[in-house]
Amino acid sequence: MKATEKRIKILEAAKSCFTQFGYEKTTLEDIGKKLGLNKSSLYYYFKNKEEIFTAVVVKEAEKIVDDLQNEFEHKEQPEEKIQVYMKKRLTYYRKVLGLHKLEAESLRQIQPGFHDLYSSLMQREVVFVARELRKIDEQLSTKMASITAELIIKSADAIKHDEILHNRKSIEDEPDYERIEKDTELLIRLMIHGIKQTVRKYSKETVY
């Protein structure tokens, strides 16, 4: 079996374990047992459990992004498209935390590696949102649209992570997803409606 195929098999087994036991309770032995491998064999393909989990989530996220972007391809209103896209993106994130029983402390440990793997996927999201921003204002430069799209996505992630990692009184508390959604919606409205008055003016005064 090729290395790529073996990695895929490991990720499938890991996803099954994380779903069944939760992230914290899953061990490398659990994952290896599903494949008939010992723990040391897994280290040939992945550094640790965190890296395996990150790869599982990114692989799932790639499919979600594909499905979402295909779903919104023919919708008319670009602002509504961005808003709904970001809401469904949050729904997916919530599902990941709930399905794999991921606690805040584990999330803190995973975040650094996750950002590295997620960067290429995020760039696809930036391209998607930037395209919709240019439909709102065709005079917006391609570069400025990309910068604004990245700010929207990163700011939405910051709102989400602030609530999940810092605002909960205890790790047993459910994050306030309603607040995250409302704050994200307001953020997007402010940024979109500020494009014509602020972003375009700013873009003319800089190299953007």
pLDDT surpassing 70 at residue 31: yes
Residue 58: name the closest of 128, 111, 126 by CA.
111
Residue with tokens 């602002």: 79
Which of 31-35, 94-98, 171-175 shows the lowest per-residue confidence on average (mean pLDDT)?
Answer: 171-175
Rounded distance, CA 11 to CA 200, Å? 45
Please give the tally of structural domains in the chain: 2
The pLDDT value recorded for residue 129 is 92
Cβ pair 188, 83 in contact under 8 A: yes
State mean pLDDT over 171-193.
85
Q: Is residue 197 domain-shared with residue 161, that is, in the same domain? A: yes
Same domain? 64 vs 163: yes
Q: Compute the distance between CA of residue 103 and CA of residue 97 in angstroms, rounded to an integer.
A: 8
Looking at residue 38, the DSSP 8-state letter turns out to be -
Same-domain pairing of 53 and 38:
no
pLDDT score of 127 more than 60 = yes
DSSP code of 139? Answer: T
Q: Is pLDDT at 149 greater than 90 in this prediction?
A: yes
Q: Do 68 and 37 belong to one domain?
A: no
Are 116 and 55 in the same domain? Answer: yes
Confidence class for position 202, pLDDT limits 50, 70, 90: low
Q: What is the mean pLDDT of residues 79-97?
A: 84
Q: What is the CATH classification number for the domain harbouring 13?
A: 1.10.10.60
Confidence at 205, pLDDT banded by 50, 70, 90:
low
Measuring CA to CA, how many Å separate 64 from each of 29, 43, 57? Answer: 29, 28, 10
Q: What is the pLDDT of residue 39?
A: 86
* Phi, psi (degrees; rounded to nearest 5) at 169: -70, -30
Measured between alpha carbons, how far is 114 from 66 in angstroms, rounded to an integer? Answer: 19
The token pair at 23 is 């992230």
Give the integer Cα–Cα distance in Å for 42 and 124.
30
pLDDT tens-digit series, residues 42-76: 999 998 998 899 888 888 888 888 887 787 766 67
Confidence category of residue 167, pLDDT binned at 50, 70, 90:
low
23, 102 contact by CB (below 8 A): yes
Return the higher-pLDDT residue of 148 and 119: 148
8 A C-beta contact, residue 139 and residue 200: yes
Share of the chain above pLDDT 70, in %: 81
pLDDT at 113 exceeding the cut of 90: no
Instruction: Single out the residue of 101, 104, 145, 117 nearest to residue 46, CA to CA.
Output: 117
Q: Tokens 């873009």 identify what position?
A: 203
Band the pLDDT of 33: cuts 50, 70, 90: very high
Distance CA 12, CA 144 (A): 39
Mean pLDDT rounded to a whole number for the chain: 82
Q: Does 109 lie in the same domain as 85?
A: yes
- Tell me: do 182 and 154 sit in the same domain: yes
Say whether both 107 and 29 belong to one domain: no
Residue 8: give the domain boundaries. 1-46
First-to-last alpha carbon distance for the chain, in angstroms, is 49
